[in-house]
Structure 1
Amino acid sequence: MRYLKFVILFIVMCFPVLTMTVKGGANTCIYSLLLLSLVYFVFQRKQDAFSFSYLLKRYWPMHLAMAGMIFAILANQISTSNFFLKTYDTPSRLAFFLPITWLLLQISASDLKLFQWGLVAGAVGSAIKIEWIGLSQSSMPGIIDFMNRIPYGDVSLMLGILSLLSIGWNRRGDKLSVAIKIIGGISGIYASYLSEARGGWIALPILAFVILSMLNKTKLNHRFAIFAIALILMVSTYGFNKIIQDRVHAAASDITKFVDGENQDTSVGIRFQLWRGSWVLFKEHPVFGVGREEFYPDALQDLAKRHVITQQATDFGHSHNEFFYNMATLGIFGLLAILAIFFVPGYYFLQATRHSDRDIKTAGRMGLTLCLGFLIFGLTEAIFFMPAICAFFSMSVAVCFAFVVKRKEALASS
C-alpha cells in the first residue's frame, strides 16, 4: 500500500487542475482511482476497520444518494422496456463514490490534506487558461476549449472558494500557505468573472452568507462586519465593472422581453421556455418521466408543435436547470435522486461543521459548500450533464468525506 498511496495522493492533488485544463483529465482521474480500488480490493492482505462491507453498512445513505440517479434511470427504462447502457455512463461517475471513498480511507487524514494544494492549482490553472483564451481570441467563445463556459465558470468559482476555506487546515503563523490560498481564491473568482457565467455570480453572496454563518467561534458582530465588507466589495465591483453591468442588464432586458411577449428566444427567455416545457413534461409523466433518450429532440419537438416552446428552444439538449431536467426525464424518481445528491452528503457535512476538532470542521465546511454551491449552480444549468463535472463532484465529495471519517478515527484512537 505504501507505493500505491503515492499514486492515489498524486491523483487527488492533480484532478482539480486536470479537470479545468486537460480534456478528459477528470475522467482519467476517476477511472484511475476506480481501477486502483479494484486492485487493492483484490490484493489487500488484511482487513482494517474500514473494510468495504463496513463502509457500505455504516454510511449506506451516502452511497444510496450518490448512486440514486442510476436507480432513477433504471426505473424509467424498466417502465418503457427500452434499455440504453450509454445513458448510465455520465451518472456512473457519481456512483463511483463508494469504491473511491473506500480507497481513500486506506490512507491517513494528514495525507488527504494534500487535496488543498490541488484546489489552489485548479483555481490558478483555470484563471490562466481562460485569460490566455481571452487574449488570443477576439471574443470569448461559448466553449472554453472543451468545456461550456457556464460549468467552467461555476467550477472555477467553487475551486476558489474551497481554496479559501482550506485555510482552516493551516496552523497559526503559516502566512505563506495562507497567502498562496488567497491567491487561489482570487484566481477562481477571477476565472468565474471572465467566463461571464451569471449563475455562479448568484451563488457567491449566498455562499458567502452560509460560510460566515458556519464560523461559530467568530463573534456575531465580526461576522456581520465581514459579510458587510464582502457585500460592499461585490456591489462596488458591479458599479465599476462594465462586463458585469452588461451581463446583469442583459438578463433584466431578457426577462422584460419574455414577460411582455416581445421576444421569447433570448438567452434567459429560452431558459424560461425550457423550464416551462419541462414542467409540462413532468405533469404528463410524473412517475418515470419521458426518459433521457427521448427528451432531446423528440419531447422538445413535440412541445414546439404544441406551441409550449418555440422551435429555437428545441436546439438545447437539457433544461438548463438540474431539477427540471431530472423531473422531466426521470419523473419523481429523478427529483428524489437529485435532491438526495445534494442533501444527504450535505447533512453529513453539516454534522462535521459542528465538531469540536478544527480540521473536521474545515472539511465539513468544504463539503457543505460543495453541495450547496452545486445546488445553486443547478438552478441555472444542468450541472451534471457533463461527465467531467460529475467526476469532479464525486471525487471532491469523496475526499472531504474520507477526511472527516479518518480524522474522527484518529481522534478516537488517541
Structure 2
Amino acid sequence: MLVLENVREKKSCLVWMSAALFISISLFLPGGYSVGASLILLLSFLVPFISKKERLDKVDLILISSFLIYSFGMLLLVFLDGGSIRDFDKASRFVLAILPLILFLNATLHKILLFLSFFVSSLGALFVSFFDRFYLGLERAGGDFNPIMFGGFSLMIAVICLNFALYYYNNNNKMFFLSVFSFLAGLSASILSVSKGGWLALPIVIAFLIWNYHQILSKAFYLKSLISILVMVALIFAVPSIGVKKRINALISDVAMLLEGDRQETSVSHRTELWKASFIMFKSSPVFGIGKSNQDTFKQSLVDQDVVHKSTLKFNQAHNEYLNELGLRGILGLFLLLNVYLVPLGLFLRKIRKYSDNPNIKVFAIAGALVPICYMVFALTQAMFTHNSGVIMYAFTIVILWAATRWAEREERELGNIA
C-alpha cells in the first residue's frame, strides 16, 4: 500500500510539474506554450493508470460542456462555410484540453509548484522584453509573439501574481514580496510591449482584486499602493526610451484626426474601419455570418464601393473578438464565444462567493476568474482566438486553475475547514 501511495505521489508531482512547465516557459521560450501543452497532452494518457480516481462533479461537467459546445459549434460553422478540417484547428484545442483537465483532477495538487510557475513566467517575460527592447533595439517587445499578444499575456500573468501577493499579504512576507516583484516584472514586460489595448484590463482587475480582498487590506496598504502607482506612472512617462508617452501621444493624435475626418492611416483608423466592415458583414448575414472564406471578397467589395478604407484588406481579423465573430460567424459565433468566456468565469465566481471566508480556496478561484476577465477586455482591441497562442493559453490555463481550485476545495474539506 505504501509503495502504491509513493508511486501515485510521484505521478502527481510529475503531472503538476508539467503544468508548472507550461506556465513557466510559455512567454520565455519560442513556442514554449505549445511545448508545454504538448507535454501535458502526452501525460494525459496517464489518466487510466493513476490508481486513485476522482469522480467528476457536476461543475466539472459544466466546464467540459462549455468547451465542447464551443468546439463543435465552431466545427458546424466551418462546415457551413465550406471550409476544411484545418479551419477547425484552433477551436479543437478546447477539446484537447478536456483530457488534461481529467488528468489534473486525478493528480494531487502541488501548490508551491503552481505558485512558483507564475513567478518564473513573469520573470521570463521581463527578460524577453528587456532583450527585445534594449539588446535587439526593437520598438516593441514581443518575443516569439505578436507584441499585442505578448503584452496581454504578460499582464494576465502579472495580475495573477498580484492575486498571490494579496493572498500572502498577512501570512508570509517572503512569498508576499516575491509575488509583488513578479507582478511588477510581468507588468513591466507588458509596458515594454507598448500594447496599450491590454492596459485597459489593469484598472478592472485591480478593482476586482480589491473587492475580493478588501476585508484584509488596511488603509495604510491603500495609501502605499497609491503612492507606488503614482511614482511608477511618473517614471514610465519620464523615461522616453520606454515608449509609453510616445504611444499615448500618438493615440490622442490619432483620435483627434479621426474626429476631424482625416483619413490618414493610423492604428485607430485601421481599427475603426475594420469594425465598420465587421458590422456591415453582420448585417449582411446576422445568424451565421458571411464565413471566413468570404471575408476578403466581401471587404474588397466594400473598398470598391468606397464604404471602408483599403487598409482593411491588410488584416485577416477585426482587432475586436466580438465584432470579428459577429461579422464572420454571426450571432451563433458570438454566442459560442460568450459561452466559453462566461461559463468558466461564472464557475470561478461561484467558488469565490461560496468560499469567501476561505482564502486557501479563494486564491485559486480568483486566479482562474482573472483569465476570462483579462481575455474579455483584451478582446475589445484584439481577436485573441485567431492565434494558436491565444487559444492554448486560455484553455490550458483555465483547466489548470480550475483543477487547482477543486483540489484546494477537497483538501479543506478533508481538514474539516469546510462542510
Return the TM-score normalized by structure 1: 0.89
Query: Aligned residue for 2:283?
Result: 283
Query: Do residues 22 (structure 1) and 23 (structure 2) align?
Result: no
Q: CA deviation at 1:206?
A: 1.9
Q: What are the within-5 Å matches in structure 2 for residues 304-383 of structure 1?
A: 304-354=303-353, 355=355, 356-383=357-384
Distance 2:111 2:88 in 1: 29
What do the CA deviations read for 1:78-112 (whole angstroms, capped 9, x no partner)? 434x1411112112223333222111011223x14
Q: CA deviation at 1:375?
A: 0.8
Give the SS at the match of 2:107: coil
Q: CA deviation at 1:258?
A: 1.9
Over 3 Å counting, the alpha-carbon distance change for 1:222 and 1:303 in structure 2 is farther
Distance 2:235 2:134 in 1: 22
Query: Aligned residue for 1:182?
Result: 180
Q: Which has the higher contact order (CA 8 A, sep 6+)?
A: 1
Query: Aligned residue for 1:407?
Result: 408
Does the CA-based 8 Å contact 2:169-2:176 persist in structure 1? Answer: no
The number of residues matched between the two structures is: 404
Distance 2:92 2:234 in 1: 43
Does the CA-based 8 Å contact 2:277-2:308 persist in structure 1? Answer: yes
Give the SS at the match of 1:20: coil
Distance 2:185 2:230 in 1: 20
Distance 2:185 2:169 in 1: 23
Distance 2:166 2:209 in 1: 12
What do the CA deviations read for 1:49-105 (whole angstroms, capped 9, x no partner)? 32xxx35x543332232334323322323434x141111211222333322211101
RMSD: 2.4
Query: Aligned residue for 1:38?
Result: 45
Distance 2:142 2:320 in 1: 20
Does the CA-based 8 Å contact 1:349-1:365 persist in structure 2? Answer: yes
The percent identity for this pair of structures is 22
What do the CA deviations read for 1:330-355 (whole angstroms, capped 9, x no partner)? 11111111112221111111122221
Where does structure 1 lack aligned partners over 5 or more consecutive residues?
Answer: none
Pick from 234, 237, 243: which aligns with 1:236?
234
Distance 2:31 2:311 in 1: 30
Aligned partner letter, 1:273: E
Query: Aligned residue for 1:161?
Result: 159
Query: Aligned residue for 1:65?
Result: 66
Return the TM-score normalized by structure 2: 0.88
Q: CA deviation at 1:284?
A: 0.9
What do the CA deviations read for 1:101-127 (whole angstroms, capped 9, x no partner)? 111011223x14421111111111111
Aligned partner letter, 1:409: R
Q: Which moved more, 1:350-359 or 1:277-286?
A: 350-359
Q: CA deviation at 1:363?
A: 0.9
Q: CA deviation at 1:170?
A: 3.9
Distance 2:236 2:144 in 1: 29
Q: CA deviation at 1:45?
A: 4.8
Pick from 184, 190, 193: which aligns with 1:192?
190
Does the CA-based 8 Å contact 2:31-2:144 persist in structure 1? Answer: no
Aligned partner letter, 1:155: F
Aligned partner letter, 2:344: P
Query: Aligned residue for 1:256?
Result: 256
Distance 1:345 1:359 in 2: 20
Distance 1:99 1:108 in 2: 16
Query: Aligned residue for 1:97?
Result: 97
Q: Which moved more, 1:264-273 or 1:402-411?
A: 402-411
Does the CA-based 8 Å contact 1:212-1:223 persist in structure 2? Answer: no
